[in-house]
Amino acid sequence: MKKMPFLPVLRFKHISITACIAVSILLPILICSCIPLPGSVPHPDLAPPALYRVFSDAARKVTLVFDKPATIDPIGVSVDPEMDVVEVTQSESMVTLCFDVLLSPGKEYTLRAEARDLHGNSCFFIAKFYGFNPRIALVEINEFTTRGSSTHPDIIELKIIKSGSLAGMCFCHGTRDNYAYRYVFPECEVAEGDYILLHAKPEGIQSEISETGDITVSGGLDASPMARDFWIKEGTGLSGNNGVLAIYTQPAGSIIDAVIYTNRTSSSDAVYCGFGSQDLIDPAIMLCEEKAWVASGDAVKPEDAVNIEPSTATRSICRSSSGTDTDTNNDWHIVPTKGASFGTANTDEVYMP
């Protein structure tokens, strides 16, 4: 899973930061004896506020979430493309900036600003965010393969449940805070019943065209004339045995749909409850906390995930054709050999060894 490099003071996750200046001031205190002065603070707060998340949930606004209460001076704020801050509101650890113009749905913006906490510690940061999309389409993860071949690479199929726009919608191989790679969709109008194919291991050839208009223009392995093909340029395939697939309204937005898959059991290891690593159990716990996946007990375990052990490049993991979505492994089955149906309706036939 991809994680931001360690920063000794500011531990930002998945926010593009090119500069960070931490400023803290400790006034000299005159000590006259070994006994602490009444009311003295032996360990003052010298850490600047750390930025954890940046998202837009309104047409003119962006919200920044810090690890502690913080303020931002609008005079020092710079946004690219250029716009002015007309209002700043602060609630606990969240600061919301209101702009003088509407944000373009799904468009990438770069914010430069300085945050300051109650003790005067400050941090200059640069972060990216995406314009709020008020017409975001509703989608479900409908079919996928994680054990692709040279002729049938890994694919994720999305089914459109409610018409709308894909602008800014984000697929993560992982979660928004811990992912191997992600894909942010461009502006594209979709209708209920449409299929989207996300190709997770492209060859990098010219004919691999992401189809925001004509759905027949893309070439490439397993491109479908019946669905919209999108190609994840940095995609290296899906983790073959264990992983999480998740869809968000935007890179730091709310979750839309997710699936956990594995070939492990609770007895596979004792350290990570059977999941095998922190990188898998943490996303699984997060998805359950966000009500995107339902565990059968108090704690999520490998048996709650979709068991992909019999799957292959042509025996895909499918949701039932009815589209049932209980956010559990009961929604999924593995189809017979050559039963993959990317770009068309799923089959309800089940692979029998």
Model confidence over 87-110: pLDDT tens digits? 999 999 999 999 999 999 999 999
Helix (H, G, I), strand (E, B) or coil at 165: strand
Phi, psi of 55 (to 5 degrees): -150, 160
User: Under 8 Å CB-to-CB from 76, ≥6 apart: which residues?
Assistant: 113, 114
Mean pLDDT of each 10-residue bin along the chain, 353 residues long: 39 38 32 45 82 96 97 95 96 96 97 96 96 98 98 98 98 95 98 98 98 98 98 97 97 97 95 92 96 96 97 97 93 97 97 94
| Single pTM value for the model | 0.86
Beta strand segments in 185-235, E: 189-190, 195-199, 228-231
pLDDT of 39:
57
pLDDT of 38:
57
For residue range 151-160, list pLDDT tens digits in order: 999 999 999 9
pLDDT of 45:
84
User: Under 8 Å CB-to-CB from 178, ≥6 apart: which residues?
Assistant: 1, 2, 3, 13, 279, 282, 283
pLDDT of 44:
79
CA torsion through residues 42, 46, 47, 49, sign: positive
User: What's the full length of the chain, in residues?
Assistant: 353
Name the strands in the sheet holding 94-99, side by side, starting at the edge strand that comes first in the sequence. Answer: 51-58, 61-66, 94-99, 85-91
d(CA 311, CA 299): 26
pLDDT of 323:
87
Cis peptide before 81 (omega within 30 of 0): yes
Say which residue the tokens 């400023």 belong to: 23
pLDDT of 17:
37
Nearest-5° Cα angle at 130, 206 to 9: 110
Give the DSSP letter of residue 234.
T
Give the DSSP letter of residue 136.
B
d(CA 63, CA 216): 39
Phi, psi of 342 (to 5 degrees): -60, 125
All structural domains of the chain, each given as residue ranges with its CATH number in brackets, are 21-26+43-130 (2.60.40.1220), 138-334 (2.60.40.1260)
Taking Cα atoms as reference points, which of 112, 108, 109, 87 lies closest to residue 98?
87
User: Under 8 Å CB-to-CB from 280, ≥6 apart: which residues?
Assistant: 242, 243, 244, 262, 272
Q: Quick one: 152 exposed, middle or buried, by C-beta within 10 A (0-12, 13-18, 19+)?
A: middle
Taking Cα atoms as reference points, which of 58, 59, 67 lies closest to residue 15?
67
Give the residues across from 72 on adjacent strands: 115
d(CA 99, CA 85): 5
- Burial of 114-146, coded b for 16+ CB within 10 Å and e otherwise, reads bbbbebebbbbbbbbbbbbbeebbebbbbbbbb
